[in-house]
Amino acid sequence: MTFAIDPGPLDRALDHACARLEESGFVDALWARRTDVWTTDAAVQRKIADRLGWLNAIETMRPQTARLRAFGESVRREGFSDVVLLGMGGSSLAAETLRTVLDSAPGYPRFCVLDSVDPDAVRAAMDRAQTSLFLVASKSGSTIEVAALAAEAERRVRTAGIASPGLHFVAITDERTALHQRASEGAYRDVFLNPADVGGRFSALTLFGLVPAALMGIDVDALLASAQPMVEACRTRDPRRNPGLALGAVLAAAAGGGRDKLTLSLPDALAPLGPWIEQLVAESTGKDGKGIVPVLGDPAEVAQGEDRIVVEIEAGGPAAPGSRARRGPPHVRLMYEGLGAEFFRWEIATATAGFLLGVNPFDEPNVQQAKDATRALLDAYASERQLPLPEAHVTIGDGRITLSAAARSAGATLTPSVRDLLRAGDYVALLAYLPPDDPRFTPQLQRLRSAVAGATGCAATLGFGPRYLHSTGQLHKGGPNRGVLVVVTADSAEDFPVPGQRYSFGTLELAQALGDFQALDRLGRRALLVRLSQRDPALLQQITETLA
């Protein structure tokens, strides 16, 4: 295992973090699943004990690999053109990483991840339903987005006249969930039941990662084998020699000292690993007013200031301190050991950072707030046939901007500029309820991100809803109140209903945006809700120029 840390001003804080890990016997306690090292609260101990199965994922999964290989081969032989994974957050991001880093083997179906309820995105992903296999993935089995997407996929398969529609569906879930029941009643092709003691964002090396890998023709035995040396190295008691503990210790030391923005520097080939790391770190640490803000694809012109730590993953060669690290912020250099190894390294690091920061890295206490607000809005829609929209404080053309109470108190004016709301050490999160990576809109959002970051030096991130609700959404609401959060919505011109519900996909998407804005407002966060009357690039440009 090769890694190097240039702690710079964090030298003493890192020493203190490593000493705490040694004095607490953290490594032995973690591997023995001794939850008393985390907390003296018996209820919290029980919750943590139910989320440590990822530590032994390789041993648990190895007996499954023959079944997985045979399943992937049977799907290949049957001639499906596409495999479409319907999932959110931890149920989808590992698969998306595997797809974009390793890709499907020759002769295997195209693989895509649908983690959006945006009508345009749903339509594009399901336009070959007759020849597609749908992989429905949800740990809880009741995720509202996944249920809606599965219902639409089932409708399309039945409409295509498929004699046995269940054979176009596979489920990954925990035992006895609503999805498990649905798969059984619908005669799904197969059901993969994951160990219940593994949380979604720690599930990359379980069935949530391995079933998609098998459907792409990826060697699942090799994927697990690539993680084994990292697993052994992460049992090392010396925190400075343990690749997972060392990374977690420096991240916690940085966050505790005000460097809570984690700049991830990845080579192009590994860039897709970033969103998986983002979710793991943000959702695990962002609570109780603490947290680490991952920053992906930082604009080149942005200086790495006093609130930053940089983690760089290099694709080859030994990791060693570099001169640029000594001139800049604290810098960690990791040598890439394979996806399996990186999945495990970052899981150990995140658990370690959570311990040192004094938070439970295995829960997500604020995620439910946005879910509850969304459900209340959908209930209101069912009776009123329209969503209750908040008052607009600013009108720009056909765009409406609503400011949270905290944003108004912070000095937003009738022409709100995001930079006017920022203070030193803050960050901006652009949260777009639009089709992910749509060339009509994403470049403009990236330009706004670069303009704000370049002018202020503050970190700026870009996420898409509702995907981010299962990722950085916990951090936005539960982490440090240092974010200026810009929620952007625009109605699709071609909406369609969610089967079995009284609302459409566009209504669900807007309800999630409104619900998250409500939750942010109630928590005293500086938030802006931008509502565009239509998906017009010129209108979005006008709005972003004002916000910049």
Q: 150-194: per-residue pLDDT in tens?
A: 999 999 999 999 999 999 999 999 999 999 999 999 999 999 999
Q: Is the dihedral of CA 296, 301, 306, 310 positive or negative?
A: positive
247 and 351 co-located in one domain: yes
The enclosing domain of 172 has a CATH number of: 3.40.50.10490
Q: Is the dihedral of CA 475, 479, 484, 485 positive or negative?
A: positive
Domain contains 470: yes
Maximum Cα–Cα distance for the chain, whole Å?
A: 67
337 lies in the same domain as 407: no
Q: Classify residue 14: in a domain, yes or no.
A: no
What is the token pair recorded at 188?
A: 């799904």
Is 389 in the same domain as 465?
A: yes
Domain-embedded: residue 19? no
> Are 437 and 377 contained in the same domain?
yes
On whether the CB atoms of residues 370 and 469 are closer than 8 A, the answer is: yes
- CA 493, CA 382: separation in Å to the nearest integer? 21
Q: Taking each helix axis from N to C terminus, what angle separates 178-185 and 144-159, rounded to the nearest 10 degrees?
A: 10
Give the C-alpha separation, 205 to 346, whole Å.
Answer: 12
Whether residue 72 sits in one domain with residue 122: yes
Per-residue pLDDT at 322 exceeds 60: no
Taking residue 367's Cβ as centre, other Cβ atoms within 10 Å add up to 20
Cis peptide before 466 (omega within 30 of 0): yes
Amino acid at 382: A
Helix (H, G, I), strand (E, B) or coil at 388: coil
Are 276 and 190 within one domain?
no
329 plus 395 within the same structural domain: no
Q: Give the Å distances, CA to CA, from 377 to 150, 175, 368, 390, 509.
A: 22, 30, 14, 12, 11
DSSP strand pairing (261-265 vs 293-296): parallel
Asked which of 163, 196, 224 is the last residue of a domain, the reply is 224
pLDDT at 219: 97
| Domain membership flag for residue 24 | no
Displacement of CA 94 from its chain's centroid (Å):
9
* H or E element that contains 222: helix 220-233
**Whole-angstrom Cα distance, residue 109 to residue 536?**
34
Q: Report the phi/psi class of residue 25: left, alpha or beta, with left for phi > 0 and alpha for psi in -120 to 50.
A: left
**Is 304 found in the same domain as 210?**
no
Last residue of a domain, one of 224, 251, 266: 224
Phi, psi of 489 (to 5 degrees): -130, 155
- Of the three residues 224, 256, 281, the one that is the final residue of a domain is 224
Question: What domain range is 512 assigned to?
Answer: 367-547
Q: Work out the pLDDT band at 324, boundaries 50, 70, 90.
A: very low
Answer yes or no: is 49 within a domain.
Answer: no
Q: Let me know whether 402 and 457 are in one domain.
A: yes
- pTM exceeds 0.85, yes or no: yes
Residue 53 near residue 164, CB atoms below 8 Å: no
Whether residue 50 lies inside any domain: the answer is: no
* pLDDT reported for residue 376: 95
Confidence of residue 323 (pLDDT cuts 50, 70, 90): very low
At 232-267, the pLDDT tens digits run 999 999 999 999 999 999 999 999 999 999 999 999
CA distance 499 to 148: 7
How many of the other CB atoms lie within 10 Å of CB of 32? 12
Q: Report whether pLDDT(523) > 80.
A: yes
Same domain, 374 and 334: no
Euclidean distance between CA atoms 118 and 87, whole angstroms:
14
Whether residues 329 and 185 share a domain: the answer is no
For residue 419, name the pLDDT band (cuts at 50, 70, 90).
confident
The packing angle between helices 273-285 and 339-357, to 10°, is 20
Count of structural domains, the chain = 3
Establish if 231 belongs to a structural domain: no
Residue 103 belongs to a domain:
yes
Amino acid identity at 62:
R
Do 468 and 531 share a domain, yes or no?
A: yes
In terms of Cβ atoms closer than 10 Å to its own Cβ (0-12, 13-18, 19+), residue 383 is: exposed
C-beta separation of 527 from 488 below 8 A: no
